Structure 1
Amino acid sequence: MSVEVRLGSVLETPPKNGYSPKDVPEWTGLKALGLGCLTPRGFAPSQLKNVPDSVMARRFTLADGDLLMSRANTRELVGLAGRFTQIGAACIYPDLMMRLRPRAEQCLPGYLEIVLRSATVRRAVQAGARGTSESMVKISASLVEDLRIPLPPLSEQRDIVAAHEAFERRVGALERMLAKVEIAESALSAYALRQVGAAGPRLDSVATVAAGVTLGSEPVGEGTVELPYLRVANVLDGRIDTTDVKTVRIVKKQYERYALRKGDLLLTEGGDLDKLGRGAVWDGHIDECLHQNHVFRVRCGEQMLPDFLALYTASPEGRAYFQRVGKQTTNLASINSTQVKQMPVPVPPVEEQRRLLGPVHAARERAAVLQQQIAKLRTIQQGVIEDLLSGRSRVNRT
């Protein structure tokens, strides 16, 4: 039977903030975690740093199974938690994290990690975070200690951890399959482009390029209409993300000028130099959708398939062109519509384009199926674990 307790009551000591000595270029026998080691999926040792070895630093050495929680970050990411696993070297954690060590006789580290990553606790942490800007909020040790968590007997905690790990193994297997399919897709894309040789005519000879609606003083009154539009944040590398689409008001007569059609290739105007010209083909699943002026709309004519053009603009050769012509400033890089229009592109016969795209599309379809399976399994996992934590269901031990 599960009871609800104060988190601080199951910890050996109060949550302890970390230590952030200055980075050094060479390994001294001690590593430090970066804040990016805590992800929505838990602990991932991806941002390790070399730091000076000292008596002070060693006070913050992590043990296998220690729970870590980010105490400062954006509101979305603050309070992310993960269970530290050994990395093959002594390791400390930074000041922007806090360490939690549960009492072994009361709470399993693996169980506490699941609880801290649950939707209920995440909401409580985010609601309690404080800061003057959403880009940086903080949580206190007292907030963490005062969190209310379910605490079933150790045997039930083990069952919940086992159920969680079973889901993780299945998801992990699917993710490994997806990684292989994505590698295959990349190889097939490169092969397809090698078959057509060097780029030839300018892009504007086979497609039209247009900028979108400029935001700012919007028209009002009769003769205007408010419509959804895609901005740079919606146009990712190889896909369009429509989870957060904003609207803008325009004069009705300008609709065709800014409207998107299914098959339009969207390319971003600016960002980091290596992300210039990232884009994807619009599938048209939002009716009457526009695009912002920082997103170029490329509409292919009869000589070019949008997917084939997208294949080329995303290739190393296409990216190299954008990086070569892009204008670099202190923090950002950008391209203009003239540079997009002047881009040399390969234009094999349409039937040849379609033939070369066949294996690529097959790989993408397989990847899409795997992504859907992973997303579905994650949803089921979240529901099952939340039910187990709340006591609404029990693990079947038979």
Structure 2
Amino acid sequence: MKMLSTECIGWEIVKIPRVLFFQEGPGVRKWQFTNSGIKLLNGGNINDNQVDLSTTDKYISEEEAYGKYAHFLADAGDLVIACSGIVVEKFSKKIAFLGPEHIPICMNTSTMRFRPKKEGKITLEYFKYFLQTRLFTNQLQKLITGSAQLNFGPSHIKKIQLPLPPLPVQRRIAAALDLADRQRQLLRAEIAAYGELGESLFLEMFGDELRGGSDNWKVYSMKAVATSRLGKMLDKRRQHGNRQRMYLRNANVQWFKFDLDSIYTMDIEEDEEEKYGLQRGDILVCEGGEIGRAAIWKGEIENCYYQKALHRLRVNNMLVNSEYLVNWFYYQSKNNGFGDYSSSVTIAHLTGAKLKTMKVKVPPLHLQSKFAKLLSQKEILKDKAETALAEADDLFQALLQRAFRGELFGAEVPSVEV
């Protein structure tokens, strides 16, 4: 990999170790974990550019933290990143600052921290955005060839070349990108609020009756309100490749939506198309993992099918609509409503037989229709916010790449040759 040109007036090209101290966490072993003491920072704690220590429960003893691992104790203000098993497109969200509320904390393997050296030639705010550029990821991928994910350490970081404008320019770049990023954060918060609004509407309209209330609403078995069928079992021995069709698996079904970034295919024979095909309005319910997790299929993919790890429900429109029933599943999940219906040897799962016997308290159809209408209005607003977020993301990315080419403030920086 060739060095970046240094012909840019006012912009140095340096390697990261010249201006930044950086350190990867140690490989703390499982037998060293404790139930209390000093929290360990793991890659899973860094998401959406925030550090959330509630997502893990790994500690080491204070004796080890302040003894053997004292030099791995991080400080407030350190910039931390996840550096193992990360999809390139998601790396930009695995970067965050530690705050006073996170201290004391000890680094662990798969994480790295950065802080400026005493000379003070770089700001961490500027460096945070450099890590999100193609200039950084292109260099890194060249150094770790053969991997579809980012798995890197100090030996890779020390080879990365960094465009280094004067400090005032660094601050102007960071301020401009902060402003653009702030717009994205506001839109994400708006979208999250719309998601919470659906739950609030459901509880307001149906919560009292579901928690006990009166006996005005009838109770039906699941087999009365919807027909159910488990998906096709994937048998690799019978896969011939002549009738490959896209199908959904457990990982694709999230609450109220589908993650379609990774879709697999399998052979679906002609006589299986109707049996395992999806129609608009079908509800897909997870049989294992987070049992009961469900979403309404809206025809996102034409001619799509589903695997055995999922139940497909088709509602009896004379009794319920899909919007009510999928939110009913969410309510049950949050209130331990599947405890009596899940079977477990080592992993809990919701069998087809158990699903059919579940008892569903059904409100009048006119209330369900009102709920569905309110949800539809909410989804229209949410869709507008998501469109605005996509535009804000595009603007941010354009500004980000231009900033590190010197097109916003200062002379142009040549791109790295990879």
The question of a shared fold, defined as TM-score above 0.5 by the shorter chain, is answered with: yes
Residue 345 of structure 1 pairs with residue 360 of structure 2: yes
Partner Cα separation in structure 2 for residue 96 and residue 242 of structure 1: 27
In the superposition, relative to structure 1, how do residues 390 and 213 fare at CA in structure 2: closer, same or farther (>3 Å)?
Answer: same
Deviations 1:321-342 (A, max 9, x none): 4332212233x22111111121
Q: Take 2:196 and 2:91, find their aligned partners in 1: how far apart are those partners?
A: 33
Asked if structure 1 preserves the Cα contact closer than 8 Å seen for 2:42 and 2:109, the reply is no
Is contact 1:78-1:138 (8 Å) kept?
no
SS where residue 188 of structure 2 aligns? helix
- How far is 1:129 from its partner? 4.2
Report the secondary structure of 2:246's partner residue.
strand
RMSD (Å), alpha carbons: 3.1
TM-score (norm 2): 0.80
Matches within 5 A, 1:188-227: 188-194=201-207, 200-216=219-235, 217-218=237-238, 220=240, 225-227=243-245
Determine whether 1:159 maps to 2:177: no
Change (3 A) 1:373 1:45: farther
The equivalences for 1:76-115 within 5 A come to 80-87=94-101, 89-103=103-117, 104-115=119-130
Shift of 1:308: 1.4
What amino acid does structure 1 have at the position aligned with 2:268?
Answer: I
Match among 267, 289, 292 for residue 307 of structure 2: 292
In structure 2, do the counterparts of structure 1 residues 358 and 162 end up closer, same or farther at CA, with 3 Å as the change threshold?
Answer: same
Query: Which of the residues 16, 41, 50 maps onto 1:7?
Result: 16
Find the counterpart in structure 2 of residue 52 from structure 1.
62
Paired with 2:102 and 2:333, the residues of 1 have a C-alpha distance of 40
Q: Does structure 1 residue 69 correspond to structure 2 residue 81? A: yes
* Rounded Cα–Cα distance in structure 2 between residues aligned with 1:75 and 1:352: 44
Q: Counterpart of 1:16 in 2: which secondary structure?
A: strand
Per-residue Cα deviation, 1:291-320 (whole angstroms, up to 9, x for no partner): 112111111123221111112112137863
Contact 2:250–2:286 (CA under 8 A) maintained in structure 1: yes
8 Å CA contact 1:266, 1:281 repeated in 2: yes
Percent of counterpart pairs with the same letter? 22
Give the 3-state SS of the residue equivalent to 1:244 in structure 2.
Answer: coil
Q: 1:262-294, CA deviations, whole angstroms, 9 ceiling, x for partnerless residues?
A: 0001111111xxx20111110013221111121
Tell me, in whole angstroms, the C-alpha distance in 2 between the residues paired with 1:145 and 1:312.
53
Stretches of structure 2 lacking an aligned partner (at least 5 in a row):
1-9, 211-216, 411-418
- Match for 1:218: what amino acid? R
Distance 1:201 1:229 in 2: 31
Question: Is the contact between residue 126 and residue 173 of structure 2 (CA under 8 Å) also seen in structure 1?
Answer: yes
User: 327, 339, 342: which is aligned to 1:311?
Assistant: 327
Q: Which has the higher contact order (CA 8 A, sep 6+)?
A: 2
Alignment check: 8 A CA contact 2:287 2:349 kept: yes
- Whether the aligned pair in 2 keeps the contact of 1:189 and 1:360 (CA below 8 Å) is no
On the 8 A contact 1:33/1:92 being kept in 2, the answer is yes
| 2:385 is the alignment partner of 1:376 | no
Residue type matched to 2:238 in 1?
E
Equivalent position of 1:393 in the other structure: 408
Structure 1 letter corresponding to 2:168: S
- Once the two structures are TM-superposed, the CA of residue 43 in structure 1 deviates from its matched residue by 4.4
- Give the aligned residue type for 2:230: A
| Matched-pair contact (CA < 8 Å) for 1:321–1:343 | no
Structure 1 pair 317–230 and aligned structure 2 pair: CA distance change class (3 A): closer
| Residues 338-394 of structure 1: CA deviation (Å, up to 9, x unaligned) | 111212113334333102333333334333333333333223212211211122333
**Structure 1: distance between partners of 2:309 and 2:102:** 46
TM superposition shift of 1:56: 4.1
Cα pair 1:228 1:245 within 8 Å, conserved: yes
Write the letter of the residue equivalent to 1:284. G
Deviates more, 1:35-44 or 1:384-393: 35-44
Against the structure 1 CA distance between its residues 102 and 305, is the aligned structure 2 distance closer, same or farther, given a 3 Å change threshold? Answer: same
List structure 1 runs of 4+ shifted beyond 6 angstroms.
Answer: none
Where 1:315 maps in the other structure, the secondary structure is helix
* Cα deviation, residue 42, structure 1: 5.3
Distance in 1 of aligned mates of 2:110 and 2:95: 12
Distance in 1 between the 2:125 and 2:351 partners? 51
The answer (yes or no) to whether the contact 1:24–1:52 under 8 Å persists in 2 is: no
Unmatched runs of 5 consecutive residues or more in structure 1:
none
